Amino acid sequence: MQFPYQLKAKGKYSLKNVRLETGFEYDNEEVIGTKTALFSIDIEDGKIKSVLANNPASDAIDAKGYLMLPAFRDMHIHLDKTLYGLPWQALSPKRKTVKDMITYEQKIIPELLKTSVDRAEQLISLQQHYGTHFARTHFNIDPTSGLKSLEHLEQALENKRDSFKAELVAFPQHGVYYTESAPLMKEAAQLKSVGFIGGLDPFSIDGSIEKVMDFTVQLALDHGKGIDIHLHEVGDSGMKTINYLIDKTIENPTLQGKTFVSHAFALGHLSSKETEQIAERLAEGKVGIASSVPFKGTIMPIPTLKKYGVEVLIGNDNVQDYWSTFGSGNMLQKANLIAELYGYATELALSRALQFATQSILPLDEKGKQQWPKAGDEAAIILTDASCSAEAVSRISKIEALMNDGNLFWRS
């Protein structure tokens, strides 16, 4: 997919006829609807400068009454490796384990690297089509690709710099020691562009929770990075890894608030009491969970995690690649899936579900008080053909415009 929008404005300008949520409608104490009104919005230096009474007679850019919401953020994706942009290919039944996939990647990475810049840009364009302007993206660090995956990803992001931003996670997809990736991880950790140190199933891939976690934690501490560990393991090894990481953040407060476990499927196989206990520990250590919202055999305890104040980030993870063919790239669809899985069906609950696409930014607070947008907020917004947040989530509404750093792109 080519970039689906055309640049409409940048720098200093204004919008008129912008629809914003202003409060809830109630029947006694029950929320039965969402109030909206039209406003004018001033943009300057990548920020929302002011939110004013609507002036339809002005020469400002006409937002046509579309609903303005925070732009979406995908907090777990692999922009460096995708089959998107190549001929269709379903999964092979021959590759059943992570180690099977490592062997397969070692074979195909050299060829995929030849076109990875273009394919990364196409995947970014797909995300933008659905209103995403920011991603936390993992990139492979392994002996087969060296630092090439990072270099190509950085080139793609540079080409998209006006319309898209990302934070980068150095991800040892082939294990830290299983394929001797430790030296490369140390090299990547020194780079300013890398914000997080990643990891992968330390017990099942590298044979040791402690050795891998100690290496990862120390690397993060030495270079002032965050941590984001892929953990597919369930049962005892999965829970031991999560608890070990929590212990490390409690021992090292500088890691609190910037340490995450991605997937954490082990949490989806606990009793209610065990779930409450680990949620309390995660909150104590300020360790977040980044989930692609799996279901069927594993439904993550997102409501319980949120109840205890655990930071829960949501991402697409794989988008039509050789790990999974189901990813759409649509964060609003993820919010919709969460609403369906956990029964968030009322006006209030659906409006709250938007937070999983925007990563906690909501136009209205729990009481219906307008809290976004306000002067000084980042000028990162979408315009959508919906009457309110609840409708946007429920109907996965079409995105008409996307703004990043004050640069406004309108659907072409």
Instruction: Please name the residue that has the structure tokens 């002036």.
Output: 55
- Within-domain flag for 91: no
Residue 83 confidence class, pLDDT cut points 50, 70, 90? confident
8 A C-beta contact, residue 141 and residue 171: yes
What is the rounded CA–CA span in Å between residue 385 and residue 388? 9
| Count of Cβ atoms closer than 10 Å to residue 79 Cβ | 29
Token representation of residue 142: 């392994």
pLDDT, tens digit, for every residue of 200-237?
999 999 999 999 999 999 999 999 999 999 999 999 99
User: Do 111 and 225 belong to one domain?
Assistant: yes
Does 15 share its domain with 148? no
Give the pLDDT score at 325. 80
Over residues 393-401, the mean pLDDT reads 98
Average pLDDT over residues 288-314: 94
Task: Give domain status of residue 262, yes or no.
Answer: yes
Which pTM was predicted?
0.96
Query: What pLDDT does 324 receive?
Result: 82
Q: Is there a contact between 82 and 123 (Cβ–Cβ < 8 Å)?
A: yes
> Domain containing 280 — which CATH number?
3.20.20.140
Does a structural domain hold residue 343? no
Quick check: is 38 in a domain?
A: yes
Structure tokens at 338: 């969460």
Neighbours of 88 (CB within 10 A): 7
Whether residue 214 is found in the same domain as residue 303:
yes
* Domain encompassing residue 401: 5-65+360-411
- Where residue 251 falls among pLDDT bands split at 50, 70, 90? very high
Same domain membership, residue 207 and residue 314: yes
CB-based burial label for 27 (10 Å; 0-12, 13-18, 19+): exposed
- Assess whether 226 and 315 both reside in one domain: yes
Q: Is the same domain home to 196 and 102?
A: yes
Total domains in the fold of the chain: 2
Q: State residue 87's pLDDT score.
A: 85
Structural domain includes residue 285 = yes
- Name residue 187's amino acid: E
Phi and psi at 86, nearest 5°, equal: -110, 170
Does a structural domain hold residue 339?
A: no
Confidence at residue 184, expressed as pLDDT on a 0 to 100 scale:
98
Pick from 310, 329, 348: which residue ends a domain?
329
Asked if residue 84 has pLDDT above 90, the reply is no
Spatial separation of the C-alpha atoms in residues 185 and 199, rounded to whole Å = 10
> Considering the domain boundaries, does residue 80 fall inside one?
no
Same domain as 60, residue 102: no
Residue 263 lies in a domain: yes
CATH number at residue 24: 2.30.40.10
If 0-12 CB within 10 Å is exposed, 13-18 middle and 19+ buried, where does residue 325 land?
middle
Q: What does the pLDDT look like over 365-396, one tens digit per residue?
A: 999 999 999 999 999 999 999 999 999 999 99
Structure-block tokens of residue 162: 């006006």
Assess whether 295 and 387 both reside in one domain. no
Of 265, 319, 323, the C-alpha closest to 296 is: 265
Sequence-distant (6+) residues with CB within 8 A of 20 are 36, 37, 38, 39, 51, 67, 68, 363, 370, 373
Same domain, 140 and 220: yes
Interatomic CA distance for residues 351 and 390, integer angstroms: 4
- With beta carbons less than 8 A apart as the criterion, state whether 150 and 184 touch: no
- Decide: 293 and 300 in contact? Cβ < 8 Å: yes
Residues 322 and 366 in one domain: no
Residues 148, 230 within the same domain: yes
User: Are 16 and 151 contained in the same domain?
Assistant: no
- List, for residues 163-191, the tens digit of each pLDDT value: 999 999 999 999 999 999 999 999 999 99
- CA 349 from centroid of its chain's CA atoms: 21
- pLDDT, tens only, 13-47: 999 999 999 999 999 999 999 999 999 999 999 99
